[in-house]
Amino acid sequence: MPKSLLEQLPEIVAKGKQEAERILEGLEGRHRVGLQTREWVLPAKDAAAQDWIRGAERAGHLDAKVGAGGTAWANRLIYGDNLLAMAALLAGDDQTPSLRGKIDLIYIDPPFDSKADYRTKVMLPGVELEQKPTVIEQFAYSDTWSDGTASYLAMITPRLILMRELLADTGSIYVHLDWHVGHYVKIVMDEVFGKQGFRNEVIYCYSGGGIPDREMPRKHDVIFWYSKGAEWKFNAQYRPYSEGTMQRGRTAVKGENATLREEGTPINDWWPDVKKITSPTDPEKLYYGTQKSEELLSRIIKMASDHDDLVADFFGGSGTTAAVAEKLGRRWISSDLGKPACMVMRKRLIDQNAQPFLYQAIGDYQVEAAKASLGRGFRVGDLSQIVLSLYGALPLPPEDNANRNLGKIVAGGGKTLVLADSPNKLTGAATLKKAVTLRDTLMGGWDKVVVLGWNFEPGIGETIAAMNDVRLEVLVIPPDLLDRLKKTGGLEKLRGQVRFASLQYLTLQPVERRKVGAGGTAGEVLTVRLANYVLLSPEAINLDEANRAKLQAVANKEPLALIEYWAVDPDYDGQVFRSVWQDYRGNTENDGDPLRVVTQAVLMLPVKDGPRRVCVRAVDVFGFEAEATATVGTRS
């Protein structure tokens, strides 16, 4: 007989511990995971309405904010697998030392093992698209659900262990679940945090919804509260007394003649009064499937942390934890595997005029995936050989192919050189120039060269346009390739099924720069206008054919309508993008149109001698990013 889930639990927990230990042991090694900073976000919904002095003060906040212990701090929004994100936080980086034992409160609202298909609805002018989870999300979640609840527990166990490592000795973790897996996760948490760490089970009640015919309506979630150590932070919360209690002038606890507490009645572990977002007219509603109310997170954050404490949510979702932590004066970290979730969070924080924060991504994501698929001893050359084979290229002889990343396709009287770039790097101008040189010189020359890349410099589209070489083609290696290789069980089963997509790119109209004022009030006005956005990789988007056709129609008619968010850095240093102006769909303060971004930015800036290097970054409705730069040397 197959083992029951309870019989499997000890083995599941043991394997989870082994996975966590492997990650922890590797933090000091050469393969430790890092975080790449994609953007410094200085929220400013309308730069034209703020003077440059206030803008400079906001920029100064980057260096001024100090966290606990006197170390510089920046709040973080992280895109990627939370297991890798936590590993990176434990390892530390150039900007922040290791956060082991530094987080005061963790709240997570993980998937409930409900088998729900969380599709994303994308509203475009005149069109509604339904997008399935991205390929990376699909395969991550297929792991989670492949063997039912056992797979779910195998996913959550190592993550809870890393969360324990990140928690401060006086820290707490609140895990929000429902009837699907709550009782099983409680057993896992007893193993990870110890039964003595269990503080309480909060019942989060709600109403609304349908009434089933053959069972009772399910109208509550559970929130498990565990502390890491024997001492923990707790700030009692109160609610106003009921009218009847006020009339009687007493409390049941204190007795008939006792006076009422000034604060109100202490909140217990039964929460029927906390808001749940149900109404489509609710101002908080972001149309994100698992969104929780700010009132719920406000209660938890106030209860379990103090001002300037560090709060984390590793299943960030709609960003309620980060948004409330920001409002309550806490430092925060939020991460999510879904690009739509990260976009919702970024817009939400900008909308509430949050303090500047970092938007980061997992570094070497594909390298980590390769280790999982090919073993810890894999070499980049092994991976390049797989990519070349799936593209249909034969490897060049070793004497001309020292890095094992070059292949050839000979067909129809022509010959094509194929270069598979490394997942360790961003494919950019240097790689493309090298590829063109190899095309023209290696083995007597080639008709064409194709570059296959995993990750790209944001300005890659602009680089390709500037090179204007019809004998050069740049394609994207599917981000789910390694996951698919792992699940299909071999290279042969994937052959002929892998599609390599083209890139998308952004173009600008000429940037205008002019001086205004004189003397101490002098400044500059910078006007930036979007010209075009080209989405060349619709096949990389998880749409069915009907939705793909709708998308193509919008892209042909109004390409800028595909942009979800764009930002401007007026003095780009080529390394860190500092977003000092942003607009996004849904920000109706600029143009009143919830389905389009404005296509012009007007920035008031201090006078600067010499040229400005202006950089624009855009993110489309599917989460793809593109970048364009322009050097403006004169002022009118």
CB 371 within 8 A of CB 483: no
Task: Give the span between the Cα atoms of 74 and 387, in whole angstroms.
Answer: 38
Task: Give the span between the Cα atoms of 163 and 312, in whole angstroms.
Answer: 9
Q: Which residue has the tokens 């010959």?
A: 415
Look at residue 589 in the predicted model and tell me its pLDDT.
72
Look at residue 505 in the predicted model and tell me its pLDDT.
81
More confident residue, 158 or 25: 158
**Percent share of the chain, pLDDT over 90:** 43
Q: Which amino acid is at 202?
A: V
Among 192-196, 471-475, 547-551, 621-625, where is mean pLDDT lowest? 621-625
Nearest to 568 by CA among 615, 524, 530, 611: 615
Residue 621, Ramachandran bin (φ over 0: left; ψ between -120 and 50: alpha; else beta): alpha
Among 163-172, 279-288, 305-314, 619-628, where is mean pLDDT lowest? 279-288
pLDDT of residue 369 exceeding 90, the answer is no
What the block records as the tokens of 47 is 């730069």
Name the packing angle between helices 429-441 and 460-467 (round to 10°).
40
pLDDT of residue 49 exceeding 50, the answer is no
Q: What is the pLDDT of residues 207-230, one digit of tens each?
A: 777 788 888 888 899 999 999 999
pLDDT of residue 26 exceeding 90, the answer is no
- Close Cβ partners of 37 (under 8 Å, ≥ 6 residues apart): 95, 358, 359, 360, 576
Task: Give the span between the Cα atoms of 598 and 120, in whole angstroms.
Answer: 23
Residues 305-327, mean pLDDT to the nearest whole number: 96
Look at residue 146 in the predicted model and tell me its pLDDT.
64
Q: Spell out the domain ranges in the chain.
A: 234-268, 377-494, 506-564+586-632
| The Cα angle at residue 221 between residues 118 and 288, in degrees rounded to 5 | 30
pLDDT of residue 61 exceeding 50, the answer is no
Look at residue 62 in the predicted model and tell me its pLDDT.
43
Q: What is the pLDDT of residues 536-555, one digit of tens each?
A: 555 556 677 788 888 888 98
The domain 377-494 having CATH identifier 3.40.190.10: the answer here is no
How many CB atoms within 10 Å of residue 539?
Answer: 14
Task: Extract long-range pairs of 426-433: CB within 8 Å, 24+ residues apart.
Answer: 426/455, 426/456, 426/457, 427/451, 427/453, 427/454, 427/455, 427/456, 427/457, 427/460, 427/474, 428/456, 428/457, 428/459, 428/460, 428/463, 429/457, 429/463, 432/463, 432/464, 432/467, 432/472, 432/474, 433/467
CB 619 within 8 A of CB 566: yes
pTM over 0.85: no
Name the most confidently modeled range: 322-336, 378-392, 512-526.
Answer: 322-336
Q: How far apart are the first and last CA of the chain?
A: 82
Q: What is the pLDDT of residues 116-148, one digit of tens each?
A: 445 567 888 888 887 666 555 554 554 456 677
Residues 176-190, mean pLDDT to the nearest whole number: 92
**Percent share of the chain, pLDDT over 70:** 82
Q: What is the pLDDT of residues 561-607, one digit of tens each?
A: 999 999 999 999 877 888 889 998 888 776 778 889 999 999 999 88
Among 155-164, 246-255, 316-325, where is mean pLDDT lowest? 246-255
Task: Give the span between the Cα atoms of 69 and 626, in whole angstroms.
Answer: 38
For 326, the 3-state DSSP assignment is: helix
* Beta strands 612-620 and 625-632, pairing class: antiparallel
Look at residue 445 in the predicted model and tell me its pLDDT.
95
Task: Give the span between the Cα atoms of 16 and 562, in whole angstroms.
Answer: 41
Measured in whole angstroms, how far is the alpha carbon of residue 531 from the centre of its chain? 27
Nearest to 449 by CA among 480, 491, 419: 419
pLDDT of residue 416 exceeding 90, the answer is yes
Q: Residue 217 phi/psi, 5° resolution?
A: -60, 135
Task: Give the span between the Cα atoms of 156 and 610, in whole angstroms.
Answer: 54
Q: How confident is the model at residue 171 (pLDDT cuts 50, 70, 90)?
A: very high
Task: Give the span between the Cα atoms of 79 and 586, in whole angstroms.
Answer: 22
Residues 361-375, mean pLDDT to the nearest whole number: 68
Q: What is the pLDDT of residues 388-403, one digit of tens each?
A: 998 999 999 999 999 8
Name the most confidently modeled range: 204-218, 317-331, 510-524.
Answer: 317-331
- Close Cβ partners of 629 (under 8 Å, ≥ 6 residues apart): 459, 462, 572, 613, 614, 615, 616
Please give the DSSP secondary-structure letter assigned to residue 72: B
Q: What is the pLDDT of residues 231-280, one digit of tens each?
A: 999 999 998 887 777 766 655 455 555 567 888 889 999 999 898 887 77
Q: Residue 55 phi/psi, 5° resolution?
A: -65, -40
